[in-house]
A and B are shown apart, each in its own frame.
Chain A
Amino acid sequence: METRKPARERDTTDRRREGIESPVEGFNERGGRAARDEALRGALRLFATKVVPARNATLAALPEAPELRERAYRIKRETMANLDRYLEEMAEAVEARGGSVHFASDGEDVVRYVGELARRRGAKVIAKSKSMATEEIELNRRLEEGYADLGLEIVETDLGEWIAQLAGDTPSHIIGPILHMNAERVAEILSEVAGEELPPDATVLSRFARGRLREKFLTADIGITGANFGVAESGTVVTVTNEGNGRLVTSVPPVHVVVMGIEKMIPRFEDLSVFTRLLARSGTGQKLTVYTNFVTGPRGPGELDGAEEFHLVLLDNGRSNLLGTPFEEALYCIRCGSCLNVCPVYRQTGGHAYGSTYSGPIGAVITPLLKGDEEAKDLPHASSLCGACSETCPVGIPLHDLLLKLRNRQVEEGMAGKTQTAAFKVFENTMKSPALYNISGKLGRAAQRPLVREGTVRPVPGPLRGWTGSRELPPLAPKPFRELWRGGI
């Protein structure tokens, strides 16, 4: 990183209200601001230059990787085509093992379920392990506000998530939640908690966090996790963490609640041999995440630890709307984050510019699908359509095709705006008529004369400024090909 702004000058706005439940307009403005933040871009560069080669190397060393990818795609396709059956099978398997299952159609439903559970248990401390689904529904804020009388202390236990929570910030990457912060900023945040000056040293800061969070693991009344996979046949919930917080949250507190998006389902336990081999390699370049933890119901007879109560909350929140539609493949995502790492747009703007829980290419696809096109209309355009995302995706989601389909849908819904519609009408008519086409060429050559400098068209004022300001527009040739042809080249 070449330049670092002092931590206090950096943007520390409270972004908590920007989960998927709140509007996310304004990518262009936020993205523009982020792209000028040299420190942020340095951090993004550091992350991408470490993770992308590591991912490439571990996948290259796995000869069966292409076959695994294809199997992953087919397993997910089969799952979605029969999702009702698998959800039912999973629910029955969990109940047969003594767990409880709740079907939640939206975030409010989850908040109510967890809130009432906390009330019944007399809970004070809730320890959470990283979960995108609970970020999406803003579970922490809504529990604190909606169940204020319980005085709940809800603590994120993933190191990055905890620091983000302390700063009133949201995660900016699926795998690296605080990659937008430098060590100085982290030291500043944790020093405030410690009540003493902590140095900007990752080891010292992590040790401090370990001590503080250890207390929470040991005293938590309820542990909440997300799920990387839910296995229908056995009722098993799989969570992967490197820090071990996922395993701690499911092992030490007396109650374990899983909030799982319905798309996390896989039919059989043996399918995990496909997905576990792809997930860590794509996400971080590890062969396997440190703790790949499989929980099936509450603790068994004679066990001293593990939760005595196990609750599975299956969350829809708009997901089922995609089933059987041209956007269904967006549900195949296993949240490895590799499409973010290779995306030329994400690598300039970081995750916060997207204004949604899900950033990068998958965020640009899933956010308008879950929230509606009007709420996130910039996002399908936050892509150069280079296709790097589709290429890197370990389950083969055609991400850039989906972005194009979303743009199409915006036009069909009449969201394109009058100017754009009129401009394309003019274009259509011009291209249809040889006479108009001829005239437009002549007009264009006349109009560009004052604008051409050193072989390119200078940024033009007016509606085309956005386009010409950031791209090199080659000028029209002095003589069109047709004339050259006629004159005998």
Chain B
Amino acid sequence: MADRARFLENVRHRTRTGRYKPTRAPDSVWTPKGAPVPDPIADPVARFLEELGAVGGHGARVQSLDEARDHVVSLARERGAGALVRWDDEELAGFDAPLAGAGVEVAIWRDLEDFRAVAGLADVGLSTASWAIAETGSLVLESGPGRGRSVTLLPPTYVAVLRAERVLGTVAEAVGKYAGGRLPANVCFHTGPSRSGDIEMSLVTGMHGPGDVHVVVVG
């Protein structure tokens, strides 16, 4: 505690005694010109799907949860998935039987003895999402009981299902949902497949996280 007091006292002393106060605000004429400014977001879901596609993700819009389930089952079939791990979420509970019918072993994120083994070996991770952001094609994921972070990270294919009314317009709106409140231990704005351009600027997807990202919007 003595260290902390001394540390803060030093900072306090310097901010109070320093005579220099920066006053030079940056120029307001700054933005480069020439690129088209996107239209205001009239249909957030359509814009979300478009932006998600632009960053290399795959979006689908369906009318009901049943259709979403069919979409996920056929996706798991296409990928030849043997194991899927999903959030412990009521909305997804109805997915288990049809997935099992398609030969996919489903693990639910609760009371797992070793989450690393389960999520690490799964072919598909399945979750819901708190929000989505139309402007950027992002999902907003909150951690919590039954809502493992690893589900969205470790399997090579990741699918999120969310309702159309959860799609927000802008990043500022999404930030506003958490401003001033108590945050979950983890929130993530997840925008498309994991990627790297470190080797000669060549774009590689699926670097550490999933390279195959799907979002099914219901409604």
Q: Which residues of A contact B (CB under 8 A)?
A: 43, 46-47, 50, 56-63, 65-67, 69-70, 73-74, 77, 80-84, 87-88, 91, 97, 101, 103, 105, 157-160, 163, 176-179, 181-183, 186, 202-203, 205-206, 209-210, 213-214, 217-218, 233-234, 236, 242-245, 247-248, 250-252, 262, 268-270, 272-273, 276-277, 284, 286-306, 314, 316, 320-321, 323-326, 328-329, 391, 393, 395-396, 398
Please list the 9 inter-chain residue pairs (A to B) with the smallest Cβ-Cβ separation, ordered nearest first.
Answer: A324-B18, A396-B26, A244-B209, A302-B145, A160-B198, A60-B35, A202-B202, A270-B179, A84-B12
Given A218-B116, A324-B18, A398-B24: A251 touches B198 (CB 8 Å cut-off): no
Given A84-B12, A244-B194: A269 touches B25 (CB 8 Å cut-off): no
On whether the beta carbons of A248 and B109 are closer than 8 Å, the reply is: no
Contact indicator per residue, chain B 10-38, by CB within 8 Å of chain A (1) or not (0): 11101111111110111111111111111
| Min CB–CB distance A113 → chain B (angstroms) | 11
Whole-angstrom distance between the alpha carbons of A91 and B3 in the complex? 13
On whether the beta carbons of B153 and A251 are closer than 8 Å, the reply is: yes
Whole-angstrom distance between the alpha carbons of A269 and B189 in the complex? 14
Q: What residue of chain A has the Cβ atom nearest to residue B202's Cβ?
A: A202
Given A251-B186, A270-B180, A288-B191: A66 touches B31 (CB 8 Å cut-off): yes
On whether the beta carbons of A293 and B186 are closer than 8 Å, the reply is: yes
Contacts of B3 in A (CB 8 A): 103, 105
Given A46-B200, A70-B25: A320 touches B186 (CB 8 Å cut-off): no
Whole-angstrom distance between the alpha carbons of A292 and B109 in the complex? 23
Q: What residue of chain A has the Cβ atom nearest to residue B113's Cβ?
A: A304
Given A88-B8, A248-B153, A251-B149: A243 touches B186 (CB 8 Å cut-off): no
- Cβ contact of A66, chosen from B16, B30, B179, cutoff 8 A: B30
On whether the beta carbons of A305 and B149 are closer than 8 Å, the reply is: yes
On whether the beta carbons of B4 and A91 are closer than 8 Å, the reply is: yes
Contacts of A328 in B (CB 8 A): 18, 20, 22
- Cβ contact of A290, chosen from B4, B34, B195, cutoff 8 A: B195
| Min CB–CB distance A180 → chain B (angstroms) | 11
Contacts of A82 in B (CB 8 A): 15
On whether the beta carbons of B198 and A74 are closer than 8 Å, the reply is: no
- Cβ contact of B208, chosen from A243, A272, A284, A295, cutoff 8 A: A243
| Min CB–CB distance B172 → chain A (angstroms) | 4
On whether the beta carbons of B201 and A206 are closer than 8 Å, the reply is: no
Asked if B190 is at the interface of the complex by the 8 Å CB criterion, the answer is yes
* 24 pairs, A vs B, C-beta closer than 8 Å: A60-B35, A61-B36, A65-B31, A84-B9, A84-B12, A160-B198, A176-B198, A183-B200, A210-B208, A242-B194, A247-B153, A248-B153, A273-B175, A284-B197, A287-B135, A287-B191, A303-B143, A303-B147, A316-B7, A316-B10, A320-B14, A324-B16, A324-B17, A328-B20
Asked if B206 is at the interface of the complex by the 8 Å CB criterion, the answer is yes
Whole-angstrom distance between the alpha carbons of A234 and B12 in the complex? 21
| Min CB–CB distance B211 → chain A (angstroms) | 9
Whole-angstrom distance between the alpha carbons of A385 and B162 in the complex? 51
Main secondary structure of the interface of B (DSSP, over half): loop
Contacts of B31 in A (CB 8 A): 59-60, 62-63, 65-66
On whether the beta carbons of A303 and B145 are closer than 8 Å, the reply is: yes
On whether the beta carbons of B25 and A243 are closer than 8 Å, the reply is: no
Whole-angstrom distance between the alpha carbons of A270 and B174 in the complex? 10
Contacts of B144 in A (CB 8 A): 300, 302-303
Given A83-B15, A203-B204: A60 touches B171 (CB 8 Å cut-off): no
| Min CB–CB distance A8 → chain B (angstroms) | 18
Whole-angstrom distance between the alpha carbons of A395 and B200 in the complex? 28
Whole-angstrom distance between the alpha carbons of A105 and B14 in the complex? 15
Task: Kindly name the residue among B135, B192, B194 whose own CB sees the greatest number of chain A CB atoms within 10 A.
Answer: B194
| Min CB–CB distance A81 → chain B (angstroms) | 6
Q: What residue of chain B has the Cβ atom nearest to residue A46's Cβ?
A: B201
Asked if B176 is at the interface of the complex by the 8 Å CB criterion, the answer is yes
Contact indicator per residue, chain B 107-149, by CB within 8 Å of chain A (1) or not (0): 0011010011001100000000000010110100001111111
- Cβ contact of A159, chosen from B112, B172, B198, B201, cutoff 8 A: B198
Q: What residue of chain B has the Cβ atom nearest to residue A57's Cβ?
A: B35
On whether the beta carbons of B25 and A218 are closer than 8 Å, the reply is: no
On whether the beta carbons of B35 and A66 are closer than 8 Å, the reply is: no
Asked if B60 is at the interface of the complex by the 8 Å CB criterion, the answer is no
Asked if B74 is at the interface of the complex by the 8 Å CB criterion, the answer is no
Contacts of B4 in A (CB 8 A): 91, 101, 103
Whole-angstrom distance between the alpha carbons of A152 and B35 in the complex? 50
- Cβ contact of A73, chosen from B26, B37, B150, B208, cutoff 8 A: B26
Task: Kindly name the residue among B11, B35, B175 whose own CB sees the greatest number of chain A CB atoms within 10 A.
Answer: B11
Besides A243-B208, A269-B180, A305-B148, 10 other A-B contacts (C-beta < 8 A): A59-B32, A159-B207, A160-B198, A177-B198, A179-B201, A242-B197, A251-B186, A288-B191, A305-B119, A324-B17
